[in-house]
Chain A
């Protein structure tokens, strides 16, 4: 259990200690291990939480969350999920669009249309160079806007 010394304890660790202290010790020394049945329940629970969170963000405005939205479908196909261009577009979405109602509407409209567009681009890689050029230009404008 030395790995956690000097660091914050989580609410779930405190809760786990009230169920079985020995399991907390083994989790720290051997890593978390669950039976297949338990693993399936954990996965189902996480999926249900995802659905509830998506519903919350759709049904209410001005909800504070820490969950990072990694979706950026077309830029991911064009540049890759961790490319600086993809991050720049995510930053534009999070800082310029999501704080405003119209921006949030545009983002959800984009999420409706972009998955099929991204799939189409994956199937037709010859279309990627012009898409990359267009998005790169958008990124340059965003970066110029940030500097200004």
Chain B
């Protein structure tokens, strides 16, 4: 009887903890989610998508929310001190969108959000971005394939900071 009561007590405490924690996570999200997504429902988290059209592409989506009008909005997290969105972020999320559309998810918005997480404070800030279309991604993929075939010469990084963090720097002919 004692063990039964103990079990029931642990179960109740766990249930309370779980609901409090879930409510706390959702309340925290309301602080950094953009207003457009505050009524949305989380539909995907760390979900992989694959498509063969317009080219074979695989992408893992950080998060995607389903809005009240049925649209899907992508959210990508980046951990960096500066509240800046880079072109590579937009390319990555655009490719995620293409993989989702090809993977059977319809109505994926061409607008998405990059959530910058400050490594020091863990504070989050969301920035809205407009994604590239399929044609632009096809051009990017063709360029990569041309480099792979040796029919195009690879370009180096535009910014020296990229080279400073690169392990290939000692033998790279275009390092800055």
Using CB atoms and an 8 Å cutoff, list the residues of chain A in contact with chain B: 1-2, 4-5, 7-28, 30, 32-35, 37-38, 41, 44-45, 48-49, 52-53, 55-60, 63-67, 105, 108-109, 112-113
List, in ascending order, chain B residues with CB within 8 A of A30's CB: 168
The one of B45, B172, B174 in contact with A56, judged by C-beta atoms closer than 8 angstroms, is: B45
- Residues 93-143 of B at the A interface (beta carbon under 8 Å): 93, 95-96, 99, 117, 119, 137, 140-141, 143
The one of B21, B59, B162 in contact with A19, judged by C-beta atoms closer than 8 angstroms, is: B162
Rounded to whole angstroms, the CA-CA distance of A58 and B45 in the bound complex is 12
List, in ascending order, chain B residues with CB within 8 A of A21's CB: 143-144, 147, 154-156
Q: Across the two chains, which residue of chain B brings its CB closest to A4?
A: B148
Interface majority SS (helix, strand, loop, mixed), chain A: helix
- Residues 78-92 of B at the A interface (beta carbon under 8 Å): 79, 86-89, 91-92
Contact digits for B34-50, partner A, Cβ 8 Å, 1 yes 0 no: 00000001111111101
Rounded to whole angstroms, the CA-CA distance of A65 and B119 in the bound complex is 25
Interface residue count for B (Cβ, 8 Å)? 64
Q: Which of A22, A64, A105 has the most CB of B within 10 A?
A: A22
Rounded to whole angstroms, the CA-CA distance of A11 and B137 in the bound complex is 10
The one of B14, B50, B86, B173 in contact with A8, judged by C-beta atoms closer than 8 angstroms, is: B50
Tell whether, in the assembled complex, residue B92 and residue A11 are in contact, meaning their CB atoms are under 8 Å apart: yes
The one of B26, B60, B88, B166 in contact with A38, judged by C-beta atoms closer than 8 angstroms, is: B166
Tell whether, in the assembled complex, residue B45 and residue A65 are in contact, meaning their CB atoms are under 8 Å apart: yes
List, in ascending order, chain B residues with CB within 8 A of A64's CB: 43-45, 47
Rounded to whole angstroms, the CA-CA distance of A19 and B141 in the bound complex is 14
List, in ascending order, chain B residues with CB within 8 A of A67's CB: 45-46
List, in ascending order, chain B residues with CB within 8 A of A113's CB: 10
